[in-house]
Structure 1
């Protein structure tokens, strides 16, 4: 299949289409800043910054990875302290330090991966994964699916685990993206997916998908990829139409948006 700039990923899907129940918080202008204006200096600078939640998630993933680089590390009494030093937690703000130490303590007490056959364990900072080339009808696109962890169960089933932090609900669509990716990477193996919250040590139910579900989801991703590319083309041709191509939805979500400092539609204060 020829190289293509067209792509799909969970990140694009979430920017394009909100999870069920979060429609009121969705703002398409965020997709515009993230994907269409990403090379503009002000936007590029903001994109390079991790917010507090993102920073906690990255460090938590690194912590799990580091725990399993030494098979004896989880047996050491000062394991959490050692991992914290590897992560350079003293360089982080207090909120991040406190939350990550709590997560490391939780994992030390409940090491989720111990006794499991780990096929792949990501550090969380490797960057973009190798794209999966997909042909859907006459349209070709690259699927990006960064898997935190892949386990192999006793019956040979692959179990894709996505680590979470915070209180956000699990988005089943993300699991379907992993399962679609697995159907291409591991075509001869059965696969399931689940989410594991590193803060409360709770795991979701296992999620499976029939070939028909995966086919439907692939069609949806193909459609989103095409629509996104059309929006990018429109913006490149008519940059003055940015607000129409990526319409804003100002509201409570503006307070947590990375672009509220440069967005003229942002509402950052509650009304008196």
Structure 2
């Protein structure tokens, strides 16, 4: 097998390598192995292609915001929600997905967060991989992937990176930090802040910023993650039978919510207590 090219990092990879605070108990490295090392195997590829209801809701909600601002007149029209639902082909989704997305669209139509904002980037959420940013220092180099939902300019010329959320998952500050690092390369010379907004419960996060010292520490951390992951991939490619040693499992009740439980020999369904797992939706 060929060896991977230059190592890469992203928030998604960071979340697969290291759990968010409070999620250590049900974090499983084998999940990273399935997603990043075995993603081209037919069974794994098929499982990755199956979007769960929460994933569908997240994708459609963001696309809905995009459509509202792509067709701005719909924000003013009484049938704007219905029109956007048609653009999203919402009728093709399950009843659960339809109901929740319609509620999100109605809330956004009633109080559009981005109305009158100086938007410089707003993505539909299904745009695929962004162009990688090359982060290069004297002692390391890696590709950084950061797909931002929305970027706008505040009245004081601050660059504001906004990430949309749905569901009940807690905001993970690490994602905002990755976006702020990317902004230093994509929008040089701009002071930047980042925040999250849950479209379903209309909740804003605090504004997150980063200083130069924190930025350098972040680059070093992401470089370590990138190189560790590349090293793990190389070890797996050299000996695929060592999969469970390179990407060790952490079986437990959370296995019931893992998309790979049907093909994972370590899946454990004996316990009954449940824990949320992060979404598979990611850009790298």
Structure 2 residues not aligned, in runs of 5+: 273-284
CA distance in 1, matches of 2:40, 2:172: 29
CA contact (8 A) 2:81 2:109 kept: yes
Aligned residue for 1:159, secondary structure, equals strand
How do 1:1-272 residues align onto structure 2 when only pairs under 5 Å count?
A: 4-270=5-271
Deviation (angstroms), 1:71: 2.1
Deviation (angstroms), 1:137: 3.0
CA contact (8 A) 1:254 1:266 kept: yes
Aligned residue for 1:68, secondary structure, equals helix
CA contact (8 A) 2:252 2:271 kept: no
CA contact (8 A) 1:133 1:142 kept: yes
CA distance in 2, matches of 1:225, 1:68: 36
CA distance in 2, matches of 1:234, 1:225: 14
CA contact (8 A) 1:13 1:221 kept: yes
CA contact (8 A) 1:4 1:141 kept: no
Deviation (angstroms), 1:81: 0.7
Deviation (angstroms), 1:4: 4.6
Deviation (angstroms), 1:267: 1.7
Deviations 1:114-161 (A, max 9, x none): 021111100000001111001133322110000000010111110000
CA distance in 2, matches of 1:68, 1:137: 43
Q: Which deviates the most, 12-21 or 131-140? A: 131-140
**Residue in 1 aligned with 2:281?**
none
CA distance in 1, matches of 2:133, 2:20: 24
Structure 1 residues not aligned, in runs of 5+: none
Deviations 1:41-67 (A, max 9, x none): 100111111111111100000000001
Q: Which deviates the most, 135-144 or 241-250? A: 135-144
The TM-score normalised by the length of structure 2 is 0.92
CA contact (8 A) 2:118 2:154 kept: yes
CA contact (8 A) 1:170 1:195 kept: yes
> How many residue pairs end up in the alignment?
269
CA contact (8 A) 1:136 1:219 kept: no
Q: Aligned Cα RMSD in Å?
A: 1.2
Aligned residue for 1:196, secondary structure, equals strand
CA contact (8 A) 2:251 2:266 kept: yes
Deviation (angstroms), 1:69: 1.1
Residues 268 and 89 (structure 1), Cα distance of their counterparts in 2 relative to 1, 3 Å cut: farther
Deviation (angstroms), 1:269: 4.7
CA contact (8 A) 1:136 1:222 kept: no
Deviations 1:152-189 (A, max 9, x none): 01111100000000111110111100000001111201
CA contact (8 A) 1:4 1:140 kept: no
